[in-house]
Amino acid sequence: MTQSNDPAREAWELLWEVMQANKPRFMALAQELGLSAVQLHALRMIEPGVEVPMSSLAGKLFCDNSNVTGIVDRLEARGLIERHPAEHDRRVKLLVLTGPGERIRSSATRQMTQPPPEIAALPMEHKIALRDALRAAVHARAETSV
């Protein structure tokens, strides 16, 4: 049971709880697609038609470049992404989704962005309040991280 006098703190703890409860769904989705959790995250970070440098992917995954090499190796072996050398700097390798990669990512995105039952079943005024508060929070983050 969460209990606190500070609404922000309690909201934060509840937020963890909701995400925690959603973890099995995410893991099941990854397994269904034949991907590890990290591979699925990586795939999600590469948008269709957008070339992403390896180091940029490392940043998005909060891990080391040397780690990304292996993750990309496996996604490439599965035929989901490709490495292309950048023409402006030949040290850089750009990652792009393949056709199959786009399709799998699209399916993953469709399922992952579907809210879990406890959010979907909220009364409309709660949904809107939730959205508006989170919009404000994310907007604030974008402001400060410029």
C-alpha distances out from residue 13 to 20, 61, 120, 133, Å: 11, 23, 20, 16
Per CB under 8 A, 115 contacts a copy of itself: yes
- Tokens 């292309």, located at residue: 84
Burial of residue 120 (CB within 10 Å: 0-12, 13-18, 19+) is exposed
Q: Which of 2, 65, 106, 107 binds DNA (CB under 7 A)?
A: 65
Residue 132 contact, options DNA, a copy of itself, none, Cβ 5-8 Å cut-off depending on partner type: a copy of itself
Give the Cα separation of 3 and 7 in Å (integer): 10
Does residue 45 contact residue 61 with C-beta atoms inside 8 Å?
Answer: yes
Compute the radius of gyration of the chain from its Cα atoms.
18
Pick the piece of the chain touching a copy of itself (CB under 8 A) from 9-17, 50-58, 80-88, 91-99: 9-17
Per CB under 8 A, 50 contacts a copy of itself: no
Per-residue contact flags (x/-) with DNA for residues 30 to 59, judged by CB under 7 A: ------xxxx-------------xxxx-x-
- Smallest separation, CB 107 to DNA (Å): 18
Per CB under 8 A, 137 contacts a copy of itself: yes
- Smallest separation, CB 135 to a copy of itself (Å): 6
Residue 50 contact, options DNA, a copy of itself, none, Cβ 5-8 Å cut-off depending on partner type: none
- Smallest separation, CB 57 to a copy of itself (Å): 14
Beta bridge partners of 97: 81
Q: Which of 74, 96, 109, 112 binds DNA (CB under 7 A)?
A: 74
Give the Cα separation of 36 and 30 in Å (integer): 6
